[in-house]
Amino acid sequence: MDSAPGARTAAPPPPDIIADRVPASAGIGLRHPHHRVLLEGKRRTGWLEAHAENYMSGGWSRHVLHRMRETFPISLHGVGLSLGGAGGLDVEHLEHLRRLVCEIEPGLVSEHVAWCGHEGLYLNDLLPLPWTEEALANLVAHIDQTQTALGRSILIENPSSYLAFRHAEMREEEFLIEACRRSGCGLLLDVNNVYVSARNLGLDAAAYLQAIPGDLVQEIHLAGHSRREVDGVELRIDDHGSTVDPAVWALYRATIARIGPRPTLIEWDSEIPPLDLLLAEAAKAEAILRDLRSAAAAGGGGRHAAQ
């Protein structure tokens, strides 16, 4: 699609610059049950991603995050900014995020392409957007506002979907690509979300991923999902409560084979498992990244094209 007049088209940093901040290796989400073991240095991972809202209030949690920052590269992942909301951004929430980012200096900062509140009311969910020009312009304006406040670019994450809007004007991947191009932000590509949405809506997950330009992708999420029958129809639920599905692993392998290694997070947010199980999932992603690097080296060390 063509950019709107006056739209910004600044490209996000290339992958080799990203790797200086958060390595193109496997990381895990930082969860309270694992704080002590990680602080004691008894377990290692490539990097940690923290939900920003869990650390905005200060106190012991904020202290822990500072301690983690001394040992691990950190990515901050927001869940409450409501970038896709129809109203204005909550400037108080944005200010709390700005202060946290200034203190921690994370390698990456990300948020969702979704809305979760309106006029001071907040819902404990990430709700979908219609893929329309109006929603796109609103999202880009909010990304611009956020990036200006933070003084840096952010990443936006593709959602998981359960129903399609009747009046969509473009495909989801087109919407995301245009949002990144207009705002200069990067993409947090959640491969599990792509798979969940594809199964729920009858889409082609591989074609979706193939359409995403590699230069936009600065981080990848992998997670487990569940199955639920609703009125005789099976739904895939993005609940982050189990190991990664084999089909998602296959999509991940194909994606990084095309675009090259990226920082890859194992998300596990419900029924938090023992740390060793979470690290075992991260080790699977690390093995795939290692195989990719070995194959590239054996082939002469050429870099993967950002398509």
For residue 120, the model assigns a pLDDT of 62
Which two tokens mark 262? Answer: 């990226």
Q: For residues 261-288, give the mean pLDDT.
A: 95
Q: What is the mean pLDDT of the chain?
A: 88
Kindly report, residue by residue over 182-215, the tens digit of the pLDDT: 999 999 999 999 999 999 999 999 999 999 999 9
Q: What is the C-alpha separation between 219 and 241, in angstroms, rounded?
A: 20
For residue 118, the model assigns a pLDDT of 59
Kindly report, residue by residue over 110-132, the tens digit of the pLDDT: 999 997 765 665 556 677 899 99
The CA distances from residue 246 to 158, 182, 192, 239, in Å, are 20, 35, 11, 16
- Asked whether residue 270 carries a pLDDT value surpassing 80, the answer given is yes
Q: How many CB atoms lie within 10 A of CB 21?
A: 17
User: Cβ(225)–Cβ(249) under 8 Å?
Assistant: no
Per-residue confidence band for 17, with pLDDT thresholds at 50, 70 and 90:
very low
Bridge partner list, 188: 157, 219
For residue 236, the model assigns a pLDDT of 80
Q: For residues 88-93, give the mean pLDDT.
A: 93
- Asked whether residue 173 carries a pLDDT value surpassing 90, the answer given is yes
For residue 21, the model assigns a pLDDT of 84
Torsion region of 80: left, alpha or beta (phi above 0 gives left; psi -120 to 50 gives alpha): alpha
The residue type at 110: S
301: Cα separation from own chain's centroid: 28
Q: Residues 70-97, buried b or exposed e (16+ Cβ, 10 A)?
A: eebbbbbbbbbbbbbbeeebbeebbebb
Count, residues in the chain: 307
- Asked whether residue 10 carries a pLDDT value surpassing 60, the answer given is no
Sketch the domain layout of the chain as residue ranges.
24-298
For residue 251, the model assigns a pLDDT of 98
- Asked whether residue 86 carries a pLDDT value surpassing 80, the answer given is yes
Per-residue confidence band for 87, with pLDDT thresholds at 50, 70 and 90:
confident
DSSP 111: E
- Asked whether residue 5 carries a pLDDT value surpassing 70, the answer given is no
Q: For residues 146-174, give the mean pLDDT.
A: 93
DSSP 87: S
Q: What is the C-alpha separation between 157 and 34, in angstroms, rounded?
A: 25
Give CB contacts under 8 A, 24+ apart, made by 10-14.
10/184, 11/184, 11/215, 12/153, 12/180, 12/184, 12/185, 12/186, 12/215, 12/216, 12/218, 13/153, 13/186, 13/218, 14/215, 14/306
Q: How many CB atoms lie within 10 A of CB 276?
A: 9
Domain 24-298 belongs to what topology?
Answer: TIM Barrel (3.20.20)
For residue 121, the model assigns a pLDDT of 59
CA angle (104 as vertex; 101, 108 as ends), nearest 5: 65
Maximum Cα–Cα distance for the chain, whole Å? 56
- Asked whether residue 232 carries a pLDDT value surpassing 90, the answer given is no
Per-residue confidence band for 304, with pLDDT thresholds at 50, 70 and 90:
low
The proportion of the chain whose per-residue pLDDT surpasses 90, expressed as a percent, equals 70
Q: Residues 35-64, buried b or exposed e (16+ Cβ, 10 A)?
A: beebeeeeeebbbbbbbbbbbbeeeebbeb
